Structure 1
Amino acid sequence: MRLGLLADIHGDGVGFQQALAWFASQAIEQILCAGDVVDRGPDADAIVQVLINRSIACIKGNHEFTLLREHSRWSQSNQRERLASRGRIVTQATLDYIAALPTSHRLQIENRCLVLAHGAPWSDVVDMLPESRSSKWQRLVREHPNDQIIVLGHTHRPMHVRCGHLTVLNPGSVYGVTIRDSHSCAIYDTASDSLTLYDLRSQQTRICPVIEIELS
């Protein structure tokens, strides 16, 4: 099975459409989004409508929580135009969609359990990186004894990690404005256990190298 993976779109409608076009050319069977659809870019409403129309599985990221918490205040600001251009004022339909999103989502992929989350399954603001301290990886393995694949976002850094019985994936960020952003999406092939990254700037692909994490 070939899974299209998205994360950290941040209202970047152009990057989002580029990602969908690439997925369409690659015979993707399912698309998953690991959160942070909103905030920073101006196109959240259009992106959310596509997510709804195409029934793309998605979860809340930390920027969804921020938008839900601050939207009323932002909407009453005397800088509404600037805030709207940064994706901080959206329609009620978008707010309703975001409010209904789960913080994580578990699904079956070819008799394997996949968990979709943002920073980490236990927190939307935790960074899971290959260089993260061992205790984070130990917790991930300990708390997911019956899962096989974890798809995360938040860091804006692509990642393909094997840790214990888990495969942990991050497609990087669709959003691509700062030096931190990867401006990428990815395809995970379950048969070959490979993560192919697609650079939305150069339109080039590369295989994300696998990093093995040994638990002490």
Structure 2
Amino acid sequence: MQIAAISDVHGNLAALNAVLADIASRGVDTIVNLGDIVSGGLFPRETADRLIPLGLPTIRGNHERQLLTLETDRMGASDRHAAAELRRDQLDWIAAMPETLRLADDVLLVHGTPGSDLTYFLETVTPQGLRAATLEEIEERAGTVDAAIILCGHTHIARVVRLGDGRTIVNPGSVGLPAYADALPFPHVAESGSPHARYAIVTRGEEGWSAELIQVAYDWDAAARDAEARGRPEWGHALRTGRVG
């Protein structure tokens, strides 16, 4: 069994199309979507229209939750843009998404961690910035979840960690935004270091699960220009470089 995991598209339709084309060339069994799908500085409505007909197993991320629960004046720029663009049927699609999802008995889809769409699973934020989480921190966040594979997103940083008991946590990285800055719980940046779109394929074989992290080239200069035209120069820099300006 092979599962392609995409996450954190953030309305980047060009990156999404490139990733879906690459996945199609590999003949996987299933594609799953780990949330943060439309909010950003690009094409929320068009991204939803691309994904809805595919009927992928999809969970909501923190941005989907925020779109459904926050008043517009409390939203950040990315959610406000999405809220202004999305149709009612697209919002209904988002509202129907679960927070987490079991795919077969041994695969769990989460956005952040099993208990939170905001907590980083494989990274930790300190007053000094972002760092890789320790094995002990990751085990605590995984808790007693009995899935052999936990697929997560949220940080946009592609990483695979195998716990001592054999459980494996896979973050496929971000399809649509390779770097960002955040202020909570302390100021920090998350950077992939290149502008590629990212996803992962996990494969169940005779010896258990394995994971492959994949990066895909697309026209990120055009995506950056689209973001800048929509008043998001910081997105333009991140899309071109994979770094925070």
Q: TM-score range by the shorter chain?
A: 0.7 to 0.9
In structure 1, the residue matched to 2:92 is: 96
| Unmatched segments (≥5 aa) in structure 1 | 75-81, 204-216
| Percent of pairs with identical residues | 28
Contact 2:14 2:218 (8 Å CA) reproduced: no
**Hey, what's the Cα distance between the residues in 2 that align with 1:177 and 1:153?**
12
3-state DSSP class of the match of 2:177? Answer: coil
After TM superposition, give the deviation of residue 177 of structure 1 in Å. Answer: 5.7
In structure 1, the residue matched to 2:20 is: 20
**Hey, what's the Cα distance between the residues in 1 that align with 2:23 and 2:33?**
13
- Structure 1 window deviating more from structure 2 (43-52 vs 117-126): it is 43-52
| Unmatched segments (≥5 aa) in structure 2 | 124-131, 181-189, 221-245
After TM superposition, give the deviation of residue 49 of structure 1 in Å. Answer: 2.8
3-state DSSP class of the match of 1:17? Answer: helix
1:26-56 deviations in Å (ceiling 9; x for gaps): 1111001111002113322232233321111
1:138 aligns with 2:155: no
Contact 2:32 2:56 (8 Å CA) reproduced: yes
**Hey, what's the Cα distance between the residues in 1 that align with 2:31 and 2:101?**
13
Matches within 5 A, 1:1-216: 1-70=1-70, 73=72, 86-89=81-84, 90-108=86-104, 112-129=105-122, 131-144=132-145, 146-163=146-163, 164-176=165-177, 178=179, 180=190, 182=192, 183-191=197-205, 193-201=210-218
**Hey, what's the Cα distance between the residues in 2 that align with 1:122 and 1:44?**
27
**Hey, what's the Cα distance between the residues in 1 that align with 2:78 and 2:172?**
28
After TM superposition, give the deviation of residue 19 of structure 1 in Å. Answer: 0.5
**Hey, what's the Cα distance between the residues in 2 that align with 1:150 and 1:178?**
23
After TM superposition, give the deviation of residue 68 of structure 1 in Å. Answer: 1.4
Counterpart residue identity of residue 97, structure 1: W
Contact 2:200 2:211 (8 Å CA) reproduced: no
Quick one: structure 1 residues 13 and 181, their matched pair in 2 at CA, closer, same or farther if it must change by over 3 Å?
Answer: farther
Contact 1:185 1:200 (8 Å CA) reproduced: no
Q: State the TM-score, normalizing by the size of structure 2.
A: 0.69
**Hey, what's the Cα distance between the residues in 1 that align with 2:17 and 2:51?**
11
**Hey, what's the Cα distance between the residues in 1 that align with 2:68 and 2:103?**
26
**Hey, what's the Cα distance between the residues in 2 that align with 1:20 and 1:178?**
21
3-state DSSP class of the match of 2:106? Answer: strand
In structure 2, the residue matched to 1:213 is: none
After TM superposition, give the deviation of residue 135 of structure 1 in Å. Answer: 4.9
**Hey, what's the Cα distance between the residues in 1 that align with 2:79 and 2:121?**
31
**Hey, what's the Cα distance between the residues in 2 that align with 1:132 and 1:11?**
28
After TM superposition, give the deviation of residue 83 of structure 1 in Å. Answer: 7.2
- Give the superposed CA RMSD: 2.7
**Hey, what's the Cα distance between the residues in 2 that align with 1:84 and 1:156?**
17
**Hey, what's the Cα distance between the residues in 2 that align with 1:9 and 1:94?**
15
Q: State the TM-score, normalizing by the size of structure 1.
A: 0.78
After TM superposition, give the deviation of residue 93 of structure 1 in Å. Answer: 1.0
**Hey, what's the Cα distance between the residues in 1 that align with 2:17 and 2:147?**
31
After TM superposition, give the deviation of residue 88 of structure 1 in Å. Answer: 3.5
